Amino acid sequence: MKCPLCEQEDETIDHILASCVFSRTVWSLLFCRYRLLDVSPSPDDKGFFDWWMRVIALFPEQVKQGLNLLITLGAWMLWKHCNNCVFNGANPNTQLVIRTFLEEAYLWCFAGTKGLAHLEVVAR
């Protein structure tokens, strides 16, 4: 089955979260939003987990908690968006994923999640 986000490759979890052109664009926008080094997945990354571990190793300890939350929430938003495309016939939309991410991140911060709030402060 072709990826519903890019229609280029087979739909796998690693493709949807890391190697899909659509997903790499979303990751790039998220990292830029938080003024972090753009370390979006590259074709050299073997999969989502390998990419995540590579990224975490690049940042200092005080940023890692927020970065882990950013990646977790980003992956969840990509997965939900993919499902919306598959099951509801929605069109892939990077801006919608980013907007939904920011809304959810705000709620996470409001609920007391400190890591994302720390990234917000760093981004200012």
pLDDT at 3 over 80: yes
Largest Cα separation within the chain, whole Å, is: 42
Q: Which residues pair with 10 in a beta bridge?
A: 2
User: Cα(first)–Cα(last) distance of the chain, in Å?
Assistant: 42
pTM, two decimal places:
0.92
Q: What are the tens digits of pLDDT across the range 70-116?
A: 999 999 999 999 999 999 999 999 999 999 999 999 999 888 888 87
pLDDT at 31 over 80: yes
- Look up residue 68 and give its two tokens: 């882990």
